[in-house]
Chain A
Amino acid sequence: MKKTTIKKMSAAAAAVAAMFVMAGCSTAANSAKKGNSASGSTIKIGVNMELSGAAAGYGEQEKQGIELAVSQINAKGGIKVDGKKYKIKPVYRDNKTSTSGSASAVAQLVNNDKVSAVVGPATTNDATASIPNVTKANVAQISPSATDPGYTLDKNGKVQTYVFRSCFENNFQGQTAAHFANNTLKAKKVAIIADNSTDYGTGLAKAFKNEFKGSVVSTQYFQEGDKDFNAILTAIKNKGFDAIYAPGYYSEIGLIVKQARQMGIKSPIVGSDGMADPKLAKIAGANNANDVYYTTPFSTKSADTDATVRSFMTAFKNKFHAEAPTFSALAYDSVYMVKQAAEDAKSTNSVDIAKAIAKIKGMKGATGEMTIDAKHNPEKPIAIEQMTKGKVVKAYTVK
Chain B
Amino acid sequence: MHTIIQQLINGLSLGSIYALLALGYTMVYGVIKLINFAHGDIYMLGAFWGYYVLKFWHLNFFVALLTAMVFCAILGVVIEFLAYRPLRHAPRITALITAIGVSYLLENGMSYLFGASARNFPQAIEQQNYHIGGFAISNIQVLILVTAIVLMLALQLVIKRSKMGKAMRAVAVDQDAAELMGINPNHVISFTFALGSALAGAAGVLIGLYYNTIDPLMGMTPGIKAFVAAVVGGIGSIPGASLGGFLIGILETIVQAVGLSAYKDAAVYIVLIIILLVMPSGIFGKRTKEKV
**Do they bind each other?**
yes
Residues of A in contact with B (beta carbons under 8 Å apart): 1, 4, 52-54, 56-57, 59-61, 196, 218, 220-223, 225-228, 230-232, 234-235, 237-238, 250-251, 254-255, 258, 262-264, 279, 282-283, 285
Q: What are 25 A-B residue pairs whose CB atoms fall within 8 Å in the complex?
A: A1-B96, A52-B112, A56-B111, A57-B117, A57-B215, A220-B262, A221-B261, A227-B207, A227-B213, A230-B13, A230-B253, A231-B10, A231-B14, A231-B256, A231-B257, A234-B3, A234-B6, A234-B10, A235-B256, A251-B118, A251-B215, A255-B211, A255-B213, A264-B136, A283-B118
- B15 CB to closest chain A CB (Å) equals 10
Among A4, A235, A258, A264, the residue within 8 A (CB) of B257 is A235
Q: Which has the most chain A C-beta neighbours within 10 Å: B108, B118, B138, B262?
A: B118
Q: Is the CB of A222 within 8 A of B261?
A: yes
Interfacial chain B residues near A231, Cβ < 8 Å: 7, 10-11, 14, 252-253, 256-257, 261
B94-139 residues at the A interface, CB under 8 angstroms: 96-97, 100, 108, 111-112, 115-120, 123, 127, 129, 136, 138
Q: Does B217 reach chain A (CB closer than 8 Å)? A: yes
Q: Is the CB of A238 within 8 A of B3?
A: yes
How far is A251 from B258 in the complex, measured between Cα atoms in Å? Answer: 25
Interfacial chain A residues near B108, Cβ < 8 Å: 52-53
How far is A60 from B111 in the complex, measured between Cα atoms in Å? Answer: 10
- A397 CB to closest chain B CB (Å) equals 29
Q: Does B218 reach chain A (CB closer than 8 Å)? A: yes
> Which residue of chain A has the shortest Cβ distance to B117 in the bound complex?
A57
- A231 CB to closest chain B CB (Å) equals 4
Q: Is the CB of B207 within 8 A of A60?
A: no
Q: Given that A61-B117, A220-B259, A231-B7 are contacting pairs, would A283 and B14 also be in contact in the complex, using a CB cutoff of 8 Å?
A: no
Tally B residues with Cβ within 8 Å of A: 42
How would you classify the secondary structure of chain B's contact residues: helix, strand, loop or mixed? helix
Interfacial chain A residues near B123, Cβ < 8 Å: 285
Among B14, B111, B258, B259, the residue within 8 A (CB) of A228 is B14
Interfacial chain B residues near A220, Cβ < 8 Å: 256, 259, 261-262
How far is A222 from B117 in the complex, measured between Cα atoms in Å? Answer: 19
- A319 CB to closest chain B CB (Å) equals 15
Q: Does B265 reach chain A (CB closer than 8 Å)? A: yes
Q: Does B221 reach chain A (CB closer than 8 Å)? A: yes
Interfacial chain B residues near A251, Cβ < 8 Å: 118, 213, 215
How would you classify the secondary structure of chain A's contact residues: helix, strand, loop or mixed? helix
Among B120, B127, B258, the residue within 8 A (CB) of A282 is B120
Residues of B in contact with A (beta carbons under 8 Å apart): 3, 6-7, 10-11, 13-14, 96-97, 100, 108, 111-112, 115-120, 123, 127, 129, 136, 138, 207, 211-213, 215, 217-218, 220-221, 252-253, 256-259, 261-262, 265
Interfacial chain A residues near B221, Cβ < 8 Å: 223, 225-226
Given contacts A60-B115, A225-B218, 17 further A-B contacts (CB under 8 A): A1-B100, A52-B112, A56-B117, A61-B117, A196-B262, A225-B220, A231-B7, A231-B257, A232-B256, A234-B6, A255-B213, A262-B129, A262-B138, A264-B136, A282-B120, A283-B120, A283-B213
- B138 CB to closest chain A CB (Å) equals 7
Q: Is the CB of B117 within 8 A of A60?
A: yes
Q: Which has the most chain B C-beta neighbours within 10 Å: A218, A235, A238?
A: A235
> Which residue of chain A has the shortest Cβ distance to B136 in the bound complex?
A263
- B185 CB to closest chain A CB (Å) equals 26
Interfacial chain B residues near A264, Cβ < 8 Å: 136
> Which residue of chain A has the shortest Cβ distance to B4 in the bound complex?
A234
- A51 CB to closest chain B CB (Å) equals 8
Interfacial chain A residues near B13, Cβ < 8 Å: 230
Interfacial chain B residues near A228, Cβ < 8 Å: 10, 14, 211
- A246 CB to closest chain B CB (Å) equals 13
Enumerate the 8 nearest inter-chain pairs by beta-carbon distance, A residue then B residue, closest first.
A56-B116, A231-B256, A57-B117, A221-B262, A282-B120, A230-B10, A231-B253, A251-B118
